[in-house]
Structure 1
Amino acid sequence: MKDSTINEDDPNLLVIVIDINPFEWEHPSAPLSLNEALQHILAFMNAHLAGRHDNRLAVIASHVGASKFLYPELNGPIPGGRVGTKKDANAYQVFKVVNDAVQSGIAKLLQDPRPALEERDVGSSKIAASLSLGLCYINQALKSDGMGHVRPRILVLTVSPDSSSDYIPIMNCIFSAQKANIPIDVCKIWGKDAVFLQQAAHITEGIYMKPSDPRGLLQILMFSFLPDMYSRNYLYLPGQDQVDFRAACFCHKKIVDIGYVCSVCLSIFCSFSPVCSTCRTKFAFQPLLPSARRLGAKAGASNPGSPRPSTPLPTPS
């Protein structure tokens, strides 16, 4: 459905979250290295900035133990300014500032010693923290926009698996983005589908895509994620045939297919508890388990003392 509130002349703010998890990028079976993927992503960023003179960009790195802004840098040089950057006659200055900031920022993060991690968080990055930073930056940009014409969106480029401990923060970010009409696009470069990010793209009316061949990442970014919110009204973009709506329990932080939901605070648990550990609500009833009902039915059918019908059943002639 066409959104009539979006104008063709509105500037676009793109917040890109780049997953730089070394546990996944350095895996022997990875079809693409981080340096190769970064060249594709930089070309995509430059294409976004070249689309309109007033397009804006923000880049956030999602590391294993940290989440940090790469561009614009805090207290850094103004894009296109004379301080802190060396001009190159063979390069567009705005592109050069963005490329240098992103590459140097990722190099510094990867050179830092890896933080101590809990066993359940090994191999996962801080996607939830990066989404929170992106939403805060967008909120600040919208408040500073006096005309109210800036159209923000978020693009997540990830290779890490889901972290069940991040379920609640990610869902908070999803509902905040939905309320502010901020679509969250997700590109799962490789690996298993990200359950929580699938839900993020579905709820915020964004795009979720998992490339069949990650070596063509630039082509996928240009054709699927480069169109702005106005252009999407006239394009047939890829969507999701099926969405995994599984959740993570609040007690053990694991993804469950069937759970118990508190009727007061809507907390999810993998097993029944007479007292909700979140809001301390006490339940006076016991759950009716389907397995117990089946066992009771089987026991009654095999019991020789069970009642029989008083009238005989008619026999076929």
Structure 2
Amino acid sequence: MLAAVLGMVLAWPSLACAQVDEDFRDAREAYGNGQFADVIRLLEPFVGQQLASIGDHVMVREARKYLGAAYVLTGAGERARNQFRWLLEDNRDQLRTMSLDRRVFILEVRDVFEEVQADLIRAEDQANADDEAARARERELRRQALITLLHQAQEDVVEVENPELPMFVPFGVGQFMNGDDTLGTFFLVSEAFFFLAASATLSVSIYLGDLRTSGGMINTTWDDALDALAPANLVSAAVFTVLAIAGIVEARLSWQPTRTVRRRREIDQDILDRLELSASPGGIGVRF
């Protein structure tokens, strides 16, 4: 008795496979005879759900084709689409190449299959495009982060000694040394203007004075011009002096023993090439 039971247990997988093969053959024959209800009855137990109850991949693939076709021809369109979708998802490597044999499946069946196939292809393409866009955004974020790091690496901030003697030099020198470029520019431009004005009026006055006394006689022709130049020279010199003193006092009051200096440092060109970046006087940028 034990031997008989053991024999039945060992023989059961073979018997089950034989039954599946027989049911599949019967289903194909029923499909050829237009008996679509029988096709559904025979194949639904095997592939009626997303997870097939049989392990033979080829058998599952072919059974889904016939069951999907039977659903189409019996008006069960949604079930047919599900069946074809599971068929294509089970064979994802053939998503774009799989087709139904036109000698077996009529146009109505093939149309439903191709509609499902097109939907899955569109979904896959969209998913791939979304993934690529996400990867591109991630690459760009990383690239911008690297650019920021390189910008920071390009600049050294150091403390240097700030000598006191230049604080007593006019023309905004003290302001520039203290790091106040705006105020330094103001004193440089304004002092230079009034210095040149004072120098010019003095030079012209000397020249006209020489003309006035040339030839051993006093020529009064230039007296009016000399009278006009004298106050202009005096005012220009006075304003220059006031500005120079004000600039020196301001620079001395703002003076600190040390000052912060930012220095640019060159980045290795090999690093820029690997990151597809370029260096310019304005900083690091993306190479186009």
TM-score (norm 2): 0.23
Q: Which has the higher helix share?
A: 2
Radius of gyration: which is bigger? 2
TM-score (norm 1): 0.22
Q: Which has the higher strand share?
A: 1
